[in-house]
Homo-oligomer: A and B are copies of this chain.
Amino acid sequence: MFPCGVPLTPVAAAVMIEEERYGEHLRERSRVPRRTTSDGGRGVGPVPTSARPRRITIEDVARSAGVSRQTVSRAVNDKPEIDPATRQRVLRVAQSMGYRPSRFARGMVGPRLTTLGLVIADVLNPFFPEVVSGVLAAADERGWQVAVYSTGSALERETAVARTVVDHVDACVAFLLDPGAIELIHRSGMPFVLLDNEHRPPSVNGGRIDFATGMRQAVGHLVERGHRRIAMLDDRGRPDAGDHGTRHSLFLRAAAEHGLPADEDWVFPAANSLEGGAAAMDDVLAGGFAATAVLGYNDLIAIGAMRRARDRGMRVPEDCAFVGCDGLTLSRLVDPPLTTLTVDKELLGRAAVRQVAAQMTGAGTGETVIVPRLVVRASS
């Protein structure tokens, strides 16, 4: 685990950091096991999970405490019809036996907890935390639990995630791209809201962001500032049925409306990350388009590109202006602050939950549309 026994001095560490990826900086001190589970016979060494001891049930506790199931139930559930002394005794026994009521058995009989599945691409993408926040808040208001799944932005993982979701939650809000995965969840019949997918099947409810209006604002703003040579950095991870709805095509349409020269050549694919934006910026500069403005698929890509441009000695916005999409908190903090199409992501999450709730009561819902707002900052 340790690369070397002696800890690095602060200075040495500081120097090596900027270059290196995180090393293993984990120390684990093991402690003696707290409670030895009643050794079931041949126990030697760490007991593997395969030797699955039978679960401790309410019956076990009842027997051990010399009362009935129901009395144990009353004790652990804080019901009134029980003698305080008995309750204490039962609770002590239960505790000492390590008894924990089964969620499943409880769910079978009592009022059922609704678990909402939330499928996102990647928590590390700063777009999602805000959505998650909205979903958590709205779910909490309804007394729901939220199970979060991440596809890791990997299209091929979506099907696996969808399969898990179908089995383990009652309703689902998802960012998904793979039609197979979408179909899987849809077919399961659970309430389902699909977010931010331009190719959403008509029978699936969804929420989308009105980037038609947004792109028109963004391009209009740049044109107003005198730009005519505008490049776009597209997210290459998304399927490009370029016909309609994608930011890609909406950008081209908006550009055409303003009589700009922009066509497919002006759209550069970028990986959805800062690094992806930087790399795409290199392509723009190498392409000889002499673009005076760059519009990113999202803030992450735009910021990556902007930083690369500065690193190459360009002035922002004099030599090149930058505009992003999404309106991340981050966009306000970078230098220069980024002009961006701000989307109320938290609202998107809340609205999705509301739609799901509507589906539960049998009401059809349709789609939610969120209109972005252009926030002009120093980058353009």
A positions within 8 Å CB-CB of B: 7, 10-11, 13-14, 17-19, 21-22, 24-37, 46-49, 95, 98-100, 102-108, 111-115, 122-124, 126, 128-130, 132-133, 136-137, 140, 145-150, 164, 167-170, 187-191, 203, 213, 216-217, 220-221, 224, 274, 303, 307, 329-330, 333-335, 342, 344, 347, 351, 359-371, 373-376
- C-alpha spacing A293/B133, complex, angstroms: 34
Whether A14 contacts B95 by the Cβ 8 Å rule is no
Are A112 and B24 in touch, CB under 8 angstroms?
A: yes
In the bound complex, how far is the Cα of B205 from the Cα of A33, in angstroms? Answer: 12
Query: Chain B residue with minimal CB distance to A91?
Result: B187
A361 with B14: CB separation less than 8 A: no
Asked if residues A26 and B347 are in contact (CB atoms below 8 Å), the reply is: yes
29 example contacts (A-B, Cβ-Cβ < 8 A) are as follows A7-B213, A13-B373, A14-B373, A18-B375, A21-B362, A22-B359, A24-B112, A24-B170, A25-B344, A26-B347, A26-B351, A26-B360, A26-B369, A28-B369, A29-B111, A31-B364, A46-B363, A102-B108, A103-B104, A103-B170, A104-B106, A105-B108, A107-B107, A108-B108, A124-B329, A136-B149, A145-B147, A145-B168, A334-B334
Known: A26-B360, A145-B168, A334-B335. 5 other contacts (CB 8 A): A14-B374, A17-B342, A28-B368, A102-B108, A129-B129
User: With A95-B187, A330-B333, A364-B32 given, is the CB distance from A25 to B170 under 8 Å?
Assistant: yes
Q: Which of A114, A362, A374 has the most CB of B within 10 A?
A: A362
What are the residues of chain B within 8 A of A148 when measuring CB–CB?
132, 136, 146-148
How many protomers of this protein does the assembly include? 2
Cβ distance A136 to chain B, nearest Cβ, rounded Å: 5
A123 touches B114 (CB 8 A): no
Q: Is the CB of A123 within 8 A of B112?
A: no
**A332 nearest CB across to chain B (Å):** 9
A22 touches B344 (CB 8 A): yes
Q: Which 8 A-B pairs have the closest CB atoms?
A: A335-B335, A104-B107, A31-B366, A10-B217, A33-B364, A27-B369, A123-B129, A17-B375
Chain B residues closer than 8 Å to A330, beta-carbon distance? 330, 333
- CB neighbours (8 Å) of A114 from chain B are 25
Q: Which residues of B contact A168 (CB under 8 A)?
A: 103, 113, 145
CB <8 Å contact, B368 and A111: no
- Bound complex: CA of A246 vs CA of B33, how far in Å? 28
Nearest chain B residue, comparing its CB with the CB of A105: B108
**Cβ-defined contact, A112 with B27, below 8 A:** yes
Measured between beta carbons, the chain B residues less than 8 angstroms from A365 are 28, 30-31
- Nearest neighbor of A122 in chain B, beta-carbon distance: B133
From the candidates B26, B35, B102, B224, name the one contacting A370 in the complex (CB within 8 A).
B26
Cross-chain contact A17 with B373 (CB below 8 angstroms)? yes
Contact A189 B366 (CB under 8 A): no
A167 to B360, CA, bound (A): 23
Contact B333 A112 (CB under 8 A): no
A37 vs B25: C-alpha distance in the bound complex, in angstroms?
A: 38
Q: Smallest CB–CB gap between A67 and chain B, Å?
A: 20
